[in-house]
Structure 1
Amino acid sequence: MLGKVIDMRHALVTGAILGLTLLAGSAAAQSVDAALARGTLKVCIVEGAPYALKTPRGQWIGHEIDVAERLASDFGLAPEFVPVTYADMMTRLAGRDCDLIAASLAIEPDRLRQAWFTTPYGESDVGVVTTRKDAAALADLDKAGVTIGAVTGTPAADLAKARLPLATIEVFPDLIAAERALDGGAVAGLAYKAPIPRLIAVKAPAKYVVVGGDPLARTADAFAVRKGDTDMLNLLNGWVEARRRDGFLARTDAYWLTTLDWMERLKPRAAPAAAK
């Protein structure tokens, strides 16, 4: 009798585990299947040059936009962009507001607890741009009385605290607010992933300089998908490998991350002359 009870309990536990596994597999498949059914790929993006920004006519352009558009096109889908912030992107992903996050997202331990990451499709240096022209290296900013800005939810915020323990690290909700603080003199520098520090310095070379020497860190950047979304993870991993081998990712990096040619696309176009 006792043996039958144990066998029954074992069967119930096994059945429950199998049921949960099937449910998880079903939920994972829904992400890819739902995208194919509706004909669109919902992509969470974080606005900020040169990754995702709008032209004067309201068109999305940027490194991640090109990547997401090619990804969607390769599977016969139209991209649907969902703007999010670093602070809420994981919540939005888990809430199915999007199928994946494409934001040159650094693979970090804290993020690994919240989502699954694909094979990296890029790397980024995290550096510092400053108004202090005497800052030849990070050590020159690691002083009491020096305030460095960073954006909440980014690796730069934690890296700056670790690498510049004597300085004060002030965290801002987004890059726009952080740049405004830098421009207004509220902070002496801004820690962020490349190429943002260089872009800021290029726009006002008389005011800003990128701190030389080793960067705060070098990150591996990847797509993020919902935990358990095996189908989407496998699809993206295969796509990254294919686009790496055909040179698409390298060409996209070269255009958006090493040149400023794309800035021409942000200039307002002159209205056509009225007919006489």
Structure 2
Amino acid sequence: MNKLKSAMLSMAAAAALFAGGAQAAETVKMGVAAEPYPPFTVPDAQGNWSGWEIDIAQAVCAAEDLDCVITPVAWDGIIPALTSGKIDMIVASLSITDAREKIIDFSDKYYTSPTVVIEAKGAGIDAVTNEALDGMLLGVQGASIHEKYARKHFPDATIKIYATQDEANQDLYAGRLDAVQADGLALDDFLKSEDGIACCELVGNVEPDPSVISADVGFGIRQDDTALKDKLNAGIAAILENGTYEKISDEYFDFDIYGGN
């Protein structure tokens, strides 16, 4: 009887140890902007998320044994949600800028994308300059680097603010805007869509201004969260090294989204 009791206790201890090991992954609240941003982050009607950025972030988390739980947050409140502790990291195509680095920290970059301007066909914008955009109605997403850049560099354009990039794109398609400015890869996806092909065309890249805008994108983290930063950087390096990054990217893009070092 004592042997049986001892065996049962040993089994219970082993089960508890196994359960503890199974729950060992650190839970991280992964904040995404609560809007479609194809091909990076795309929700379905049931609230499930897919897209290149979701796949990359989950691969980084898996490489470092992090249980990353998707937490949708309104775009204009996503940095306050991070600093207040409602989320632990931002996965929302967040460019690494000097202004943002005064408030939050970033992981190493996980992709690179230029900022571009596209126009409605026939708008007659022949360059990405203040002179060419003088008097034009330019749509940008509010509380974004694009709003800040446009207000600084295109003061003679009429800036119209949108809650989401998709809304700006649809107004461009409908003829209610002359142009929009946004992340080049996201707008490339729109230009390849049926609506984009019908309505719009690329004007070109904006001039660099590191104080406002950057082509490098990283995961946003709190400035004091060095442990998570180290894990995310290690995870990014791991998936670049083992081919996971390339395998995921090949499903979405026919070019090198990572860019130079």
- TM-score > 0.5, shorter chain as reference: yes
Shift of 1:81: 0.6
Q: Which of 50, 53, 57 lines up with 1:64 in the alignment?
A: 53
1:43 to 15, 18, 30: 30
Identical positions, percent: 22
- Provide the alpha-carbon RMSD of the alignment: 2.5
Residue in structure 1 matched with residue 252 of structure 2 by the alignment: 256
- Report the TM-score, using the length of structure 1 for normalisation: 0.72
Assess if the C-alpha contact under 8 Å between 1:129 and 1:200 holds in 2. Answer: no
User: Hey, what does 2:134 align to over in structure 1?
Assistant: 144
1:128 is paired with a residue whose SS is: strand
Q: Go from structure 1 to structure 2 and tell me whether the alpha carbon gap of 1:216 and 1:250 turns closer, same or farther (over 3 Å shift).
A: farther
Name structure 1 gaps, 5 residues minimum: 1-35, 260-276
Aligned residues of 2:173 and 2:199 also touching (Cα < 8 A): no
Match of 2:150 among 160, 165, 187: 160
SS in 1 for 2:234: helix
Offset at residue 154 of structure 1 (A): 1.9
Conserved in 2, the CA contact under 8 Å of 1:125 and 1:216? no
State the partner residue of 2:182: 192
1:207 counterpart = 2:199:
yes
Partner of 1:75: 64
Instruction: Tell me what 1:95 maps to.
Output: 84
Write the deviation string for residues 249-272 of structure 1: whole angstroms up to 9, x where unpaired: 34434433448xxxxxxxxxxxxx
Deviates more, 1:105-114 or 1:54-63: 54-63
For 2:145 and 2:199, the matched residues in 1 are separated by 25
Output one character per residue of 1:61-114: Cα deviation in whole Å (capped at 9) or x when no partner.
012210222123223343311112331111111222222111221011221121
Instruction: Return the alpha-carbon distance in structure 1 between the equivalents of residues 104 and 182 of structure 2.
Output: 22
CA-CA distance at 1:208 after TM superposition: 0.9
Instruction: State which of 197, 219, 224 in structure 1 corresponds to 2:220.
Output: 224
Aligned to 2:235, what secondary structure does the other structure show?
helix
Cα distance, 1:131 vs structure 2: 0.5
| CA deviation map 1:32-87 (0-9, x unaligned) | xxxx7675321001231111112355431012210222123223343311112331
Q: Which runs of 4+ in 1 moved over 6 A?
A: none
| Alpha-carbon distance in 2 for matches of 1:108, 1:140 | 22
Give how far 1:126 is off: 0.8
Q: 1:141: how far off? A: 7.1
Structure 2 length as normaliser, TM-score?
0.75
Structure 1 pair 255–127 and aligned structure 2 pair: CA distance change class (3 A): farther
Conserved 8 A contact 2:96-2:217: yes
Q: Secondary structure of 2:93's partner?
A: strand
| Alpha-carbon distance between aligned partners in 2 of 1:186 and 1:211, rounded to the nearest angstrom | 18
Q: What residue ranges of structure 2 are gaps of 5+ in the alignment?
A: 1-22, 209-213, 256-261
Distance 2:145 2:244 in 1: 26
Q: Shift of residue 228 of structure 1?
A: 0.7
Corresponding position: 1:116 with 2:105: yes
Aligned length: 223
The 1:141–1:52 alpha-carbon spacing in structure 2 relative to 1, beyond 3 Å, is farther
